[in-house]
Amino acid sequence: MNEPFPVTAPSAAIADSDQRFPVRRIFCVGKNYADHAREMGGDPDREPPFFFSKPADAIVAGTAAIAMPPRTENLHHEIELVVAIGKGGRDITSDDAPAMVFGYAVGNDLTRRDLQADAKAGGRPWDMAKGFDRSAVLSPIRPVAAVGHPAAARIWLSVNGETRQDGDIADMIWPIADIIAELSTYVELMPGDLIYTGTPAGVGRIVRGDLVEGGIDGIGAIANRFT
């Protein structure tokens, strides 16, 4: 009898714990900061945020060395607050949404911007621009019991010590509870789901050798060298 193929389920670190958070799905919110919506050519007063996905095994630790991905000449960083879902449900109200959250982390939604631009121009999906290997950087998840539900905190990112992104999560167009409620009208959220909640202005190119550091006050930090 042939042995079954070995399968390793994706998971993420939990801060101050030996346990791991099993990652089921990764959802991302587009254009959820007004300044970033404008820099990408959108109108934050007219366009609500939208959702796209990354595969669960795109997760990579916030301290890992990351190989530059193929098929791009314009890899971009996008620092984000990440919500880890601990309880499932659909059609969740904004009032009930906080009870669904296990914890929060810092993420970097890596993007092959040149592939994304080509996909937009051709009216094609973004999968290869957003959902490639090691495209979902994630710090250890901090449980709600340790950090509460952050409504305002500095979010920042630097490349080789130079600040590129510097904002506050209070500037999100849709706050965390509303994101969870809206997403739950499209899909049934389940324990293990992650939601990357959007990025402030200042996204930019990463090249081989860059050290990309970032963080959210009270939540955590990342530091990845691109090799």
Supply the CATH number for residue 40's domain: 3.90.850.10
Range(s) of the domain holding residue 75? 11-225
User: Residue 52: inside a domain, yes or no?
Assistant: yes
pLDDT tens-digit readout, 200-226? 999 999 999 999 999 999 999 999 999
Amino acid present at 132 = F
In a domain, 28, yes or no: yes
4 within a domain of the structure (yes/no): no
Q: CA 71 to CA 190: how far, in whole Å? A: 33
Whether 187 is in a domain gets the answer yes
The model's pLDDT over 38-78, given as tens digits with 9 standing for 90+, comes to 666 666 665 677 899 999 999 999 999 999 999 999 999 99
| Residue 149 maps to a domain | yes
pTM of the full predicted structure?
0.94
| Residues 56, 22: Cα–Cα separation, whole Å | 9
Quote the number of domains for the chain: 1
Q: Is residue 2 part of a domain?
A: no
The reply to whether 1 falls in a domain is no
122 alpha-carbon distance from chain centroid: 25
- Indicate whether 60 belongs to any domain: yes
